[in-house]
Amino acid sequence: MSKKRIIAFLISSLFIALVVMLYMVTHKKSDAQQQSREISLEKEKDATSSSEKKSAGSQLYHGDNFEFEYPAEWTLHTEGISELALLRPGMSLPDQENLPATDGIYWGDIIIDVHSNPKNLTVEEYFKQSGEWSPFTEELGHESFVLHGNEIFKFNHVPGFLTSSVAYIRNHGFIVEITDVDDEYQDILDQVISTFNFISP
């Protein structure tokens, strides 16, 4: 075999080897991308499944300004002396229209009121300027934290006609007050707080 043929054979062999190597690298990369896509889809599926599990057994209230979840077996009333009222199973509000808010009348277990706050004051500043009773002026233990971008103040075991737990959530233009009236449904109060979201206009 002449030198030219040997050189040509070597070049051809190198070229074939290079093509094979490129094919193998490309094929492995494609497999890795496919595997990555499959893992990503699996994670999305798991996340969706997890979300569905979280909402299982719950109903969603979706209003003009905010939304939250509450137990499916509870009843939500949107008319009455309060903005919203959650009633435990088997309970109902008085049938009389325009019934005055007096002691001893059942108005719900979780009460949600909305206070206008046009100056966008902090919760503490709002109570100072409103002249209303303020939990901040009492020696009450409370916790403050941020959830879903909302600053929340929660007061536990507030004394009164009934011992209650109250949470305040501020957004631009108003403050939402959520009350566990008889201090018996902390789990429901916490569910409302943990799923509470303001809706952007």
Contact 197, 67 (CB under 8 A): yes
Amino acid identity at 44? E
pLDDT at 167: 94
Confidence band of 157 (pLDDT split at 50, 70, 90):
confident
Q: Cα(166)–Cα(161) distance, rounded to whole angstroms?
A: 14
**Sequence-separated contacts (24+) of 128-136 with Cβ below 8 Å:** 135/166
In tens, the pLDDT along 11-39 reads: 666 666 665 576 665 555 445 455 545 44
Ramachandran bin of 58, using left for φ above 0, alpha for ψ from -120 to 50, beta for the remaining angles: beta
Per CATH, is 58-198 categorized as 3.40.50?
Answer: no
The pLDDT of 112-140, averaged and rounded, is 85
188 pLDDT exceeds 90? yes
**DSSP secondary structure string for all residues of 109-143:** SEEEEEEEETT---HHHHHHHH-S--GGGS---EE
pLDDT at 24: 67
Contact 197, 68 (CB under 8 A): yes
pLDDT at 50: 35
In tens, the pLDDT along 69-123 reads: 999 999 998 875 568 999 999 988 776 455 555 555 778 899 999 999 999 999 9
**Sequence-separated contacts (24+) of 105-109 with Cβ below 8 Å:** 107/80, 107/81, 107/82, 107/181, 108/77, 108/80, 108/82, 108/181, 109/180, 109/181, 109/182, 109/184, 109/185, 109/188
pTM over cut 0.75? no
The pLDDT of 160-188, averaged and rounded, is 89
In tens, the pLDDT along 36-58 reads: 454 444 434 443 333 344 456 89
66 pLDDT exceeds 80? yes
Element housing 152 (H / E): strand 150-158
